[in-house]
């Protein structure tokens, strides 16, 4: 068995993985153990990593094949599968709860972030357990949510989206609002509030109001792991059963640079 230690970070989700150098090739048993740990704990933290872009891209294949991110103006030069999360190129921190890239037919299984430059305070990332959120809903609401589907496209409030990206990634994609995790077998609430144009059969306004209401009721501190970044951290987020958000509460005269990779997952289904 591979020598990895999985140390839970929070009662609901999140675990630190010790004993893995992501800069070295990972053997099949370690890759399998990491996939299982992600499905179980939903957020994995690796500390003190030192990675080149090529090493980072190779390491994340443990969770799936890297997939292209749709805001191509933020790609790392020379590395189109790494996105730069960086306020100094005009990005605003994604402070709303969401899961990534729901406008894709096969949305990411995971989002991976690598902390390259970290401000001295604030600027954390929070991850909410949407498996626990689903389980805590009243039974009649769970049954109703099981029948609902969202229609997804690119965010309307990103005016800097390039026309070629809108062309490639903007066509409407329908996903269930509750999905079954392909590894874990459990159900989780699944939607991206600003990528969902509407819930099928509901007006855009009613859809938005319902999703806002759901987020307000579901995401309580008991189901949230807050990651305070240290330089060299790698955070892997299971996009199939969580939502996450950034925190913009840091000094903008300091740099905050995360390298982001998303890896392809399955088409969401409710089984
Ligand atoms: Fe995100």
The per-residue pLDDT for range 209-248, each reduced to its tens digit, is 999 999 999 999 999 999 999 999 999 999 999 999 999 9
Report the separation in Å between the CA atom of 3 and the middle of ligand 1, taken as the mean of its atom positions: 31
Q: How far is the CA of 1 from the centre of ligand 1 (A)?
A: 33
CB neighbours of 71 closer than 8 A, spacing ≥ 6?
Answer: 83, 158, 160, 161, 162, 165
Longest dimension (CA), the chain: 52
Interval between CA 94 and ligand 1 midpoint (Å): 6
Alpha-carbon distance 172 to 168, whole Å? Answer: 11
Alpha helices, DSSP H only, in 116-155? 130-136, 139-145
Report the distance separating Cα 181 and Cα 121, nearest Å: 35
Mean pLDDT of the chain: 95
Rounded to the nearest whole angstrom, what is the distance from the C-alpha of residue 2 to the centroid of ligand 1?
31
**pLDDT digits 0-9 by tens, 118-157:** 999 999 999 999 999 999 999 999 999 999 999 999 987 7
Cα 42 to averaged position of ligand 1 atoms, centre (Å): 15
Distance CA 178, CA 180 (A): 7
pLDDT, position 89? 80
Angstrom distance (rounded) from CA 187 to CA 190:
9
Inter-residue contact 190 to 148 (CB < 8 Å):
no
Give the distance (Å) from ligand 1 centre to CA of residue 260.
9
pLDDT, tens digit, 9 for 90 and up, residues 66-113 = 999 988 899 999 999 999 999 888 888 999 999 999 999 999 999 999
Per-residue tokens: 209: 């109001």
**Cα gap 174→152, rounded to integer Å:** 6
Q: How far away, in angstroms, is 240 Cα from ligand 1 center?
A: 13
Q: Tell me which residue of 21, 14, 19 sits closest to 45, measured CA to CA.
A: 14
The whole-number pLDDT of residue 1 equals 53
**CA–CA separation, 240 and 109 (whole Å):** 6
Q: What is the CA radius of gyration of the chain?
A: 18
Nearest to residue 202, comparing CAs of 153, 141, 145, 268?
145
pTM over 0.75: yes
């Amino acid at each position: 068995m591979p020598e990895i230690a999985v140390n839970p970070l929070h009662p609901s989700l999140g675990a630190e993985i010790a004993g893995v150098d992501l800069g070295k090739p990972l053997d099949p048993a370690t890759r399998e153990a990491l996939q299982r740990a992600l499905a179980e704990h939903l957020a994995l933290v690796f500390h003190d990593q030192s990675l080149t872009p090529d090493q980072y891209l190779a390491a994340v294949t443990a969770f799936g094949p890297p997939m292209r991110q749709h805001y191509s103006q933020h790609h790392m030069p020379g590395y189109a599968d790494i996105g730069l999360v960086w306020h100094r190129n005009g990005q605003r921190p994604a402070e709303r709860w969401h899961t990534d890239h729901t406008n894709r037919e096969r949305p990411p299984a995971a989002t991976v972030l690598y902390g390259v430059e970290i401000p001295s305070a604030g600027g954390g990332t929070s991850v909410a357990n949407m498996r626990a959120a689903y389980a805590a809903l009243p039974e009649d609401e769970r049954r109703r949510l099981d029948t609902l589907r969202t229609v997804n496209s690119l965010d309307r409030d990103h005016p800097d989206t390039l026309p070629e990206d809108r062309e490639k990634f903007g066509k409407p994609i329908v996903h269930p609002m509750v999905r079954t995790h392909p590894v874990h077998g459990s159900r989780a609430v699944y939607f991206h509030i600003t990528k969902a144009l509407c819930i099928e059969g509901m007006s855009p306004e009613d859809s938005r109001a319902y999703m806002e209401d759901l987020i307000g009721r579901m995401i309580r501190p008991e189901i949230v792991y807050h990651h305070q970044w240290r330089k060299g951290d790698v955070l892997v987020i299971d996009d199939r059963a969580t939502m996450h958000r950034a925190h913009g509460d840091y000094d903008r005269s300091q740099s905050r640079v995360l390298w982001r990779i998303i890896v392809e997952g399955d088409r969401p289904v409710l089984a």
